Amino acid sequence: MNTAAVAMTHFGHHPDIIPRLVVPQTRNGRLDLLAERALGSYGPVVCEDVMGELKAALLRGRGGAGFPAHIKWHSVAGSAGPGPRVVVANGEEGEPASAKDRWLLTHRPHAVLDGLLLAAAVTGADRAIVYLSHPETVGTIEESIAELRAADLVPAGLRLDVHVVAPTYVAGEESAVCRSLNGGPALPLAKPPRPFESGVSGLPTLVSNVETLAHAAWIARHGAEEYGRHGTVGSPGTTLVTLSGACERPGVYEVPYGLSVQELFTGPGGGYTSPPPSGFLMGGWFGGLLSAERAEVACCYDAVRAVGSGLGCGAITALGAEDTPLAVAADIAAWYAEESAQQCGVCVKGTAAIRDAMGNLRDGIATSATAANLIRWGTTLPRRGACAFLDGAATLARSLATEFPAAVSAGALAPSAESAEPTSSHSHRYSSKETTP
Ligand SMILES: Cc1cc2nc3c(=O)[nH]c(=O)nc-3n(C[C@H](O)[C@H](O)[C@H](O)COP(=O)(O)O)c2cc1C
Ligand code: SF4
């Protein structure tokens, strides 16, 4: 599995929707201030109570956790009484399988800034920051901020900055965001406090994904009812997905919630490039593996959770003919062990143990206890690190065992052959064989 960030090869929207973010005008590149204002950005809001409208719209965060946006906005607005607050647009996008935040920041930076200024106004913030790392997004956001200043659209008293960070997987985690903005390394911190309690400069801080902010602005300008015109009852609206892997048109698409994985790939994704995939990687690399038999699962929060997976940041990869589940899981597990911020013992040992078990499975030398270990790690490791990074590795482990039991059995030695020491091709100081974190 290629661990380099996916390219924004194609983009568009599902034919059944009127797009809100991937509008046809973006074919020519960045929408400038004039074009955005024609779409309603920075215009009047249709509601007196923006947070109430976000609540009515059931807007969920698009950074990965799907947390209700109005609760976060409310926590920041209501925390610690009067005083300064900070809002941050998180455009770091460390997830290698995702390109939607980069797409948004290069094509519709004003949609993000519109949401950021709105969040600042609603929460009472006097500082707003765009946090990003991909070089192509820095120019478009700075150009757009310059347009805003020239048009006198940055409210008096609001400090608006851009903060560029070196890209890593954990640099976009919310406490890492605040730590970096406070002058430290972009590494997660133990919680509490969470950023809404104490974030940038110790102030209540809203860290929100750039796509969430763009949807929030759209909802404020068009209303929750209109937002719910597409999508499902439990997951209203549209969302950006990044489709990659074995499909004809990999790229970023705006789709209504509720389409199946199969419909995403055979519709916007243009169909599969090879024989039907053996499975899918869900939510970037965070939602684990899903077998091909689950291709009919609807991409909405409840249905995907019901099959033990997650939508995460909306990135889905179809496994190609050469991507056997064991090989893909081994590659990603190795990547997890490499990308761990190495701050929490349980994460260091857990990701190493998962990497070694996956490597042994791929090499056909795992022990017969491996399947049980993968499931146990999948249930005992989540929520034990300072951040949710380890949860992703644990989900990968569990999902390989539950979605591909035959492949896992095939990767293990017969019990009679187990007296021979398993020798993972990945040596590690904690584990030359399968260990217990
Ligand atoms: C390891 C890790 C990496 C993350 N990386 C990102 C990221 O690159 N971009 C992002 O928006 N959120 C990322 N998140 C989620 C953020 O912590 C945070 O929940 C999110 O920015 C909040 O925005 P939202 O409420 O709009 O989803 C990451 C979380 C974890 C655990
Ligand atoms: S859980 Fe892992 S990635 Fe997260 S802070 Fe701890 S060591 Fe770093």
**pLDDT per position as a tens digit, 133-166:** 999 999 999 999 999 999 999 999 999 999 999 9
Do 255 and 351 sit in the same domain of this protein? no
Q: Does some domain include residue 244?
A: yes
152 and 125 together in one domain: yes
Element spanning 26, H or E: none
Residue 360 belongs to some domain of the structure? yes
215 & 265 share domain: no
User: What is the distance in angstroms between the CA of the first residue and the CA of the last residue of the chain?
Assistant: 25
* Domain stops at, among 175, 194, 227: 227
Whether the per-residue pLDDT at 224 is higher than 70: the answer is yes
Residue 279 in domain: yes
Q: Which of 293, 316, 307, 294 is nearest to 246 (CA)?
A: 316
Please give the pLDDT value at position 278: 92
Looking at the structure, do residues 115 and 200 belong to the same domain, yes or no? Answer: yes
- The confidence score (pLDDT) of residue 434 equals 47
Tell me if 158 is assigned to some domain: yes
Place of tokens 């707003």: 128
Listed in sequence order, the residues at least 6 apart from 293 whose beta carbon sits closer than 8 Å to its beta carbon are: none
CATH number at residue 340: 1.20.1440
- Does one domain contain both 334 and 391? yes
Q: pLDDT for 51-67, tens place per residue?
A: 999 999 999 999 999 99
Q: Backbone phi, then psi, for 435, in 5-degree steps?
A: -115, 170
Q: Residue 344 falls within a domain, yes or no?
A: yes
pLDDT of residue 436: 52
Asked whether the predicted pLDDT for residue 79 surpasses 90, the reply is no
The CA-based diameter of the chain, rounded to the nearest angstrom, is 76
pLDDT at 80 over 80: no
Q: Is the distance from the beta carbon of residue 386 to the nearest atom of ligand 2 less than 6 Å?
A: yes
The predicted structure's pLDDT at residue 437: 62
Same domain for 307 and 204? no
DSSP conformation class of 260: B
Instruction: Name which residue leads in pLDDT, 113 or 423.
Output: 113
Residue 115 inside a domain? The answer is: yes
* Cα–Cα distance for residue pair 326/330, rounded to 1 Å: 6
User: pTM to 2 decimals?
Assistant: 0.94
Domain count, the chain: 3
For residue 201, tell me if it sits in a domain.
yes
Using CA atoms, how far apart are residues 418 and 99, in angstroms rounded to an integer?
A: 43
Q: For residue 192, is the peptide bond before it cis, meaning its omega torsion is within 30 degrees of 0? A: yes
Under the banding of pLDDT at 50, 70 and 90, the label for residue 187 is: very high
Query: Both 169 and 118 in a single domain?
Result: yes
DSSP-derived letter for residue 310 is -
74 has a pLDDT exceeding 80: yes
88 and 56 both lie in a single domain: yes
The CATH number linked to 169 is 3.40.50.11540
Q: Are residues 245 and 284 in the same domain?
A: yes
**428, pLDDT greater than 60:** no
- Predicted confidence at residue 240, as pLDDT, reads 98
* Res 432: pLDDT: 33
The reply to whether 333 and 216 lie within a common domain is no
Alpha-carbon distance values, 317 to 4, 9, 202, 239, 280 (Å): 13, 14, 39, 16, 5
**Strand 127-132 to strand 86-91: parallel, antiparallel, or no bridges (unpaired)?**
parallel
CA–centroid distance, residue 402 to ligand 2 (Å): 25
**pLDDT given for residue 431 in this prediction:** 35
* Closest ligand, as measured to the CA of 345: 2
Domain end point (choices 171, 201, 227): 227
Which H or E run contains 289? strand 289-291
- What are the tens digits of pLDDT across the range 251-265? 999 999 999 999 999
Say if residue 202 is in the same domain as residue 283: no
Q: Is 383 exposed, middle or buried (0-12, 13-18, 19+ CB in 10 A)?
A: exposed
Tell me, using a 6 A CB cutoff, whether residue 392 lines ligand 2.
Answer: no
Q: Is the pLDDT of residue 426 over 70?
A: no
Q: Which two tokens stand for residue 230?
A: 């597409």
Please give all residues whose beta carbon lies within 6 A of any atom in ligand 1, as ranges. Answer: 61-65, 67, 72, 90, 92-94, 169-170, 172-174, 207-209, 212, 387-389
With the CA atoms of 18, 20, 22 and 26 taken in that order, what torsion angle do they form, in degrees rounded to the nearest 10? 100
**CATH number (domain holding residue 252):** 3.10.20.600
Domain that residue 309 falls in: 238-318
Which of 178, 204, 227 delimits the end of a domain? Answer: 227
Q: Which ligand is nearest to the CA of 392?
A: 1
Asked if 214 and 236 touch (Cβ cutoff 8 Å), the reply is no
